[in-house]
Amino acid sequence: MAKLETLNFDNLALRSLPVDPNKEIRPRQVSGACFSKVKPIPVKNPVLVAYSGSAMELLDLSQEELDRADMAEYFSGNKLLPGSDPAAHCYCGHQFGYFSGQLGDGATMYLGEVVNKKKERWEIQFKGAGLTPYSRTADGRKVLRSSIREFLCSEAIHHLGIPTTRAGTCVTSDSKVIRDIFYDGRPIEERCTIILRIAPTFIRFGSFEIFKPVDPETGRAGPSVGNKDLLVQLLDYTAKTFYPEIWSEYEADKQKVYIEMYKEIIRRTARLVVEWQAVGWCHGVLNTDNMSILGLTIDYGPYGFIDRYDPDYICNGSDDGGRYTYRKQPEICKWNCEKLAEAIQDVVPVSETKPFLPLFDEEYSKHYKDKMRKKLGLIKEVPEDGELVESLFKTMEDTGSDFTNTFRCLSNLPLPNSPDYDIKMKEVLDYLVSQSCTVDELKKANASTMDPRQLQMMMMVIQTNPALIPALGRRFEAFEKELKKMSRLEELQDWKQEFKSKEDRDLWEKWLEKYSQRLLLETDSQTNLQMANKQREQIMNNNNPRFILRNYIAQNAINAAEKGDYSEVRRVLKLLERPYDGDLDITPTTIATDKTESTAATSRADSCQIDQSYDSKPPSWSLDLRVT
Ligand SMILES: Nc1ncnc2c1ncn2[C@@H]1O[C@H](COP(=O)(O)OP(=O)(O)OP(=O)(O)O)[C@@H](O)[C@H]1O
């Protein structure tokens, strides 16, 4: 096992790719280089909020090492890990559909690559350690709440079995920054916090966009446009290091290497989105600078797990146009793959890469069907399964059901003809109806979020001068959404809860009947029902998490941490490490109660058992989360 002083660093990326000769930290364009050397800026009184043992194990660090008193010194950047060589990476990006030019690691920095005893290479990175040449007008710092959100969710996504960058440590400090003001105008001071991220590499689609020619819409170009040699260098490094099988098979024909690598990136990206869709997770900022070249989930900002199922769910408060809704994630990721092809066109013409874009849909569809069958416990393949899945989502949407609990509860249903089938069917139906959204909750969810003056102004524009609509762009889309919500709210005014519950029951009954018919196809006269039920339950429970990082759970942990109590962060992390364990209790006593935030936060703070209060419906459908 390694010690903090003897981590086995081997900084291949810095040796292989050009480093900016200019040592200045001031914001500037960096041309002809992939990295700029930087230094973490020390913070006052660093303290460890939490670490992820399983992530730190990747670096060969033992428990004993992780309990050292000076951990926070090393993982705040106050003390430099021997062998590390901090540098910020230069990249560009399409943000919300438009090319932004140079972005780069403005708040993150590469520390180096640790090769562990299994010979795995792990890049480690700080997020929030201070200024770099890419910080533009910002300060390179991150605060406690956004760091806890990233720390917890990186690990949550990993333990769900979804490819992701990892989070090793979260260290906060007495150094302060201001991100917001109180209503009376006083500044809100927040603690500078640093997380350690771990991944094979943090190279993104945006890393290749430094070669992008002038964008006709924004007039911006990548800082290394036209530098074909550097593009080849970056492509070769990426292929050789991260796609070694492709590299060794086609090395003699470089064009072939690049095309095969591009195809594999498309396939990995498509599979990644399926995994997100399958657990109801929204990324929130699917810009090209947040798309990993390895198909990993990267950058946990305003992400969200869906509670009440809504395909148009937007988790990012600044996404007025709804570009990154749950429903749109696949098409946006495909669009991002297209942008990657455009970025490398100086070396691989678009005419040679674009024909492979349909691979995205093929891979997506194949993997999605496979995943959904597992989630529903369907072992045989039947063409109508697609329709069964669609009708489930429609029922979830119409009843306003909780994404996670709906899927998890279905494993309680045994195969038809099992002795307890009728009893279980009734339990599942009752559960599904009781966890569907209430009329009051729907009203709350459809309440206006738009400033009334802006709403009035939009109304006027549309009535008096419709020709202006195209110029309003994203603002008009937001306005249209608001109108939809307003008309839904009107519909809901006279809706009685008894009526909704009855309608929900009808809808669920209909779907469950369809599901039962389909389950019949899983059995024949030879089937050992007991064994088949066991297998079905196992497959379903391994694919439908019981415990996910709902916004309010993260928020509880943040609230406690902001008061100096880190125990809830640590407890939630433990729960997230085993998201598929335990039984979802669907008996009426546990489902009727809608637990409040405080009961959820204070109960059994040191236990690693899944807290029943976290099984129930979340107390709030939408929390207003500020993320910086
Ligand atoms: N506090 C900050 N100081 C300086 N630059 C920042 C800060 N926050 C974000 N940026 C920069 O703004 C751009 C977009 O931010 P985004 O939130 O996508 O990245 P990030 O979360 O900081 O990093 P990553 O994508 O690596 O997780 C990036 O270039 C990022 O480095």
Position 359 in a domain: yes
Q: Do 166 and 199 meet the contact criterion of CB atoms below 8 Å apart?
A: yes
Position 532 in a domain: yes
In this predicted structure, what is the pLDDT of residue 494? 86
Instruction: Identify which of 26, 91, 95, 108 to mutate to test ligand 1's pocket (most ligand atoms within 8 A of the CB).
Output: 108
Q: What is the pLDDT of residues 104-153, one digit of tens each?
A: 999 999 999 999 999 999 999 999 999 999 999 999 999 999 999 999 99
Q: What is the DSSP letter of 219?
A: -
Residue 80 and residue 207 in one domain: yes
Which of 183, 201, 224 lies at the terminal end of a domain, its last residue? 224
Radius of gyration of the chain (CA): 25
Hey, whose CA ends up nearest to atom 21 of ligand 1? 299
Ligand 1 binding residues, C-beta < 6 A: 103-108, 134-135, 138-141, 285, 289-290, 299, 301
Average pLDDT over residues 182-202: 93
What number is the ipTM of this complex? Answer: 0.96
> H or E element: which one contains 225?
none
Tokens (6 digits) for 345: 């066109």
Residue 12 and residue 153 in one domain: yes
Position 621 in a domain: no
Which of 161, 192, 224 lies at the terminal end of a domain, its last residue? 224
Neighbour tally for 214: CB within 10 Å: 13
Q: Distance from the CA of 301 to the center of ligand 1, in angstroms? A: 9
Whether residue 589 has pLDDT greater than 90: no
Q: Distance from the CA of 31 to the center of ligand 1, in angstroms? A: 19
> 101 pLDDT band (50/70/90 cuts)?
very high
**N-to-C CA span, the chain:** 36
> 472 pLDDT band (50/70/90 cuts)?
confident
Position 422 in a domain: yes
Which residue type occupies 207?
Answer: S
Residue 508 and residue 523 in one domain: yes
In this predicted structure, what is the pLDDT of residue 456? 80
Our CA angle for 141, 143, 146, nearest 5°, is: 115
Position 377 in a domain: no
Which residue type occupies 328?
Answer: K
Q: Do 167 and 52 meet the contact criterion of CB atoms below 8 Å apart?
A: yes
Q: Do 280 and 311 meet the contact criterion of CB atoms below 8 Å apart?
A: no
Position 283 in a domain: yes
Residue 447 and residue 361 in one domain: no
Residue 527 and residue 595 in one domain: no
Residue 88 and residue 137 in one domain: yes
Q: Which residue has the tokens 């900084």?
A: 11
Helices (H), 57-175: 63-66, 71-74, 144-159
Hey, whose CA ends up nearest to atom 25 of ligand 1? 299
Could you tell me the CA-to-CA distances from 550 to 315, 547, 572, 586, 617 in Å, in that order?
A: 12, 9, 11, 19, 10
Q: What is the pLDDT of residues 493-513, one digit of tens each?
A: 888 989 999 999 999 999 999
Go through the chain and tell me how many residues it has.
Answer: 628
CA–CA distance, 353 with 345 (Å, rounded to integer): 9
Query: What domain range includes position 598?
Result: 551-614
CA–CA distance, 627 with 608 (Å, rounded to integer): 28
Q: Please, what is the average pLDDT of the chain?
A: 91
Please give the positions annotated as active site. 289
Hey, whose CA ends up nearest to atom 22 of ligand 1? 107
Our CA angle for 149, 152, 156, nearest 5°, is: 125
Residue 464 and residue 395 in one domain: yes
Q: What 3-state class would DSSP assign to 269?
A: helix
CA–CA distance, 480 with 305 (Å, rounded to integer): 24
Residue 70 and residue 57 in one domain: yes
Residue 504 and residue 426 in one domain: yes
Residue 571 and residue 532 in one domain: no
CA–CA distance, 152 with 167 (Å, rounded to integer): 8
Position 126 in a domain: yes
Q: Which residue has the tokens 């146009």?
A: 321
Name the domain count of the chain: 4
Which of 530, 547, 564 lies at the terminal end of a domain, its last residue? 547
Hey, whose CA ends up nearest to atom 2 of ligand 1? 140
Residue 324 and residue 338 in one domain: yes
Q: What is the pLDDT of residues 8-27, one digit of tens each?
A: 999 999 999 999 999 999 99
Residue 210 and residue 259 in one domain: no
Position 164 in a domain: yes
